[in-house]
Amino acid sequence: MSKVTVVGAGAVGATCANVMACREVASEVVLIDIKEGLSEGKMLDMYQCATLMDFDTKLVGATNDYKKTANSDVVVITSGIPRKPGMTREELIGTNANIMKSVIENVVKYSPRAIILVVANPMDTLTYLALKASGLPKNRVIGMGGALDSARFKCYLAKATGANINNVDGMVIGGHGDTTMIPLLSKATVNGVPVAQFASKKKLQEAAANTMVGGATLTKLIGTSAWYAPGAAASMMVESILHDQKKIVPCCCYLEGEYGQNDICIGVPAVIGRKGIEKIVEIDLTKEEAARFEESAAAVRKTNQVLHEIKAL
C-alpha cells in the first residue's frame, strides 16, 4: 500500500493526480486545496473515469483537511499562484513562499516520513525553503524542475533531428529559470548517437534556446503556466520513488560540495528511488557548461536571498 498527496488542485496538481491514478502509481492519491469543493469535484470527476481507463486507484479530495493526507509516502506541492504572460518565475516568490511554509508545516505534522516533491515556482528557491523549513534530511526534499526541462529539451531535439522522440535523450541542469537552465547539447543523443550527426549546429542551438523559454512560450500561448508536461513530470518522479526504479533524473537537489557548490538547491542528475535522492551523479561538463553552471548557481542564490529579505527563513 502506498499513498501520495498532491497539494494544490489547480491544473498542474490535478493533472499530476490524474496521471498517477491512470498509471496506478500509488494505491491512494489525495488531492487537497484551500478552495471549497475544488479537489473533491476534480477527484470525483477522475474516479468516474476508472471503468473507462481501467484503474482502481483510491481517490480522495479534501478542502484544506490535512488529516486526510496523514501518513503519505510522497507529498507533491504544486500550490501557489501560476505565472501570467510576461511574469518571471522569480516574481512569484513573495506569495508562494508564504504558501510553501504553511504547507510544509502541515505536511511534516501529518506525514513526518514523507518525501517532498516541490513543483511550485520559483522552484529552486522554494525547494530550498521547503528543506530548511521542514528540517527533513536532504534526500527527502526534491525539486521537479529539471525533469520537466529535460522533457522539453527532448521534444525540441526530436523536432530538430526528425528522430523518434522516444529515441532522443537529453538533459537540462542548473536553475529552473528561463536564463538559468542549461540544456546539455554535449550529452544529447539519438539512441546513443550524438545529435550532431542528425542536425546542424544551428538547429541544435535553436532547440536549446527554445527549451530555455519553453515555459514562457506556453504561458504566452495559453495565458497561464503549462500543466500537462509539468503534471506528468511530477508523476514520473513519484513513480520512480514509490516503485524504487532508481531512474537518473535531472532534478533540484541540495548540494554539499557536488559540482563545487554548497548550501544550494539546484538542478543536477540524481538517482531517484525509494529513499528519494539516493545519489547525486556528477558528470563531466565542458568548460562553457561549467561556467554557465556557476552563473546559474549565482542567480539562484540571488533569488534565495529574497527569502531572508521577506523573513521567510
Tell me the domain boundaries of the chain: 3-145, 146-309
pLDDT per position as a tens digit, 127-168: 999 999 999 999 999 999 999 999 999 999 999 999 999 999
Is the Cβ–Cβ distance between 239 and 97 less than 8 Å? no
User: What is residue 233's predicted lDDT score, i.e. its pLDDT?
Assistant: 98
Mean pLDDT of the 169-189 span: 97
Average pLDDT across the chain, whole number: 96
Q: Which of 9-23, 74-88, 155-169, 232-246 has the lowest mean pLDDT?
A: 74-88
pLDDT band at 81 (very low <50, low <70, confident <90, very high): confident
CA atoms within 13 A on the CB side of 166: 0
Architecture of domain 146-309: Alpha-Beta Complex (3.90)
Residue 101 pLDDT grade (very low, low, confident, very high; cuts 50, 70, 90) = very high
Domain 3-145 has CATH 3.40.50.720: yes
Using CA atoms, how far residue 240 sits from 71, 83, 247, in Å, is 19, 28, 6
Helix or strand (DSSP H, E) at 283:
none
Average pLDDT over residues 182-196: 98
Reply yes or no on whether the pLDDT at 17 is more than 80: yes
Answer whether 203's CB lies under 8 Å from 192's CB.
no
Q: Report pLDDT for 40.
A: 98
Q: Is residue 176 flagged as an active site residue?
A: yes
**With left for phi above 0 and alpha for psi between -120 and 50, is residue 210 left, alpha or beta?**
alpha
Dist CA 162 CA 192 (whole Å)? 15
Residue type, 191: N
The catalytic residue among 132, 140, 176, 292 is: 176
Which of the 8 DSSP states describes residue 139? G
Mean pLDDT calculated for residue range 254-282: 98
> Does pLDDT of 312 surpass 90?
no
The pLDDT of residue 251:
98
Percent of the chain with pLDDT over 90: 92
Which residues have a Cβ under 8 Å from the Cβ of 147 and sit 6 or more positions away? Answer: 233, 234, 236, 237, 249, 250, 251
Per-residue pLDDT for 89 more than 70?
A: no
CB 9 within 8 A of CB 42: yes
CB burial of 28-51 (b: ≥16 within 10 Å; e: otherwise) equals bbbbbbeeeebbbbbbeebbeeee
Query: Is the sign of the CA dihedral 100, 103, 108, 114 positive or negative?
Result: negative
Q: Return the C-alpha cell found at 153.
A: 529539451
Mapped onto helix, strand or coil, the DSSP state of residue 8 is coil
Burial of 200 (0-12, 13-18, 19+ CB in 10 A): exposed
- Weakest-pLDDT range from 91-100, 121-130, 254-263: 91-100
Task: Please check the confidence at residue 84 and state whether its pLDDT lies above 80.
Answer: no
